[in-house]
Amino acid sequence: MAQLHNRISRKELKERIQNDPTPRTTISFYNYVFIEDPVAFRNEMYKAFKELGVLGRIYIAQEGINAQMNVPTVNFESFKNYLYSLDGFKGLRLNVAVEQNNHSFFVLDVKVRKKIVADGIEDPNFDMRNKGRYVNAVQMNELMNDPDTIIIDMRNHYEYEVGHFVKAMEIPSDTFREQLPMAVDMMKDHRDKNIIMYCTGGIRCEKASAYMLHQGFKNVFHLEGGIINYARQIKEQGLESKFIGKNFVFDERLGEKITGDIIAVCHQCGKPADTHTNCKNDGCHLLFIQCEDCATKYDGCCSTECQTVYNLPVEEQKKLRAGIDKGRMVFNKSKAGRLRPRLNEKR
């Protein structure tokens, strides 16, 4: 029987990929399609992807699939042929990354989940087939020129912080499940407006558009393929980009430039910066924005406390972080404007 899980340490796999010159194509895709037996589907897909050398993160549920990955470029056509042979997947749009990087992923994870996007929706009458209308880059730009259009960003605060559409509204929450009812409440006095929802690759805004329609809104649109597809279309068609800054992505790159604008600041010194990084202290790994000067000053750590721990012998570091639950370690600008939590304390 074929092995259906990775058996090699992630550290070793990462070292292998970093030393492997094989050209890889980074892509993402999703598909809201009914999958009767997600476990069986997952196992067959794992075997096929493993054989093709695919690396990445794939979530499968009865409602569909959500995938971010890279594929050896030489196997890309074989990968597409396999994917398009699956029921309900023929011709599925693949979002090819704007900035390619052979090291965007280093392990293959294929997991079964209750939902491909955690949405908190329990209403049995909610139907993903009743979703908003797609808009492409040209249509997006045209609608944005209409004063009766409202743009809603359905991403997390740390994604919005480094790049977003001009005049886009941020939904001030850390989770998609909280954002959905918040978006409905924020738009309750604008039911006659054109509402365009967008996200990174399309999966969240597509579900959000269906939720808005379910809540009685009429003129709901969502950006087809999200920011990734928009960036590719404006480049190919020579269009003006109404998205400014960097698009945060959920792989080793942590972002790809759409325009040269830097709209965020270093979380340590306040200078213009848009490079996300994880704190080098293994007892922290806080995701935050750090400029090059602060990266040098703090050894890639988010605080002097973490820097002190990071420079201790490995065995002492292990003792200090024993019993620490890092939880969701993401810088949150709503928390008194400082990095949190205190990184040398047990929580």
Residue of 199, 266, 294, 302 marked catalytic: 199
**Dihedral angle at the C-alpha atoms of 66, 68, 70, 74, nearest 10 degrees?**
30
Amino acid sitting at position 161: E
Whether 279 is catalytic is no
d(CA 139, CA 244) in angstroms, rounded, equals 17
Buried b or exposed e, range 64-78, using 16+ CB within 10 angstroms: bbbbbbbbbeebbee
Most distant CA pair in the chain: distance in Å?
62
Q: Are the CB atoms for 104 and 24 separated by under 8 Å?
A: yes
DSSP state of 26: E
274: helix, strand or coil: coil
Distances 117 to 64, 180, 210, 313 between C-alpha atoms, Å: 10, 12, 13, 40
φ and ψ at residue 74, rounded to 5 degrees:
-65, -25
Which is nearest to 33 in space by CA: 84, 81, 89? 89
Active site residues: 199
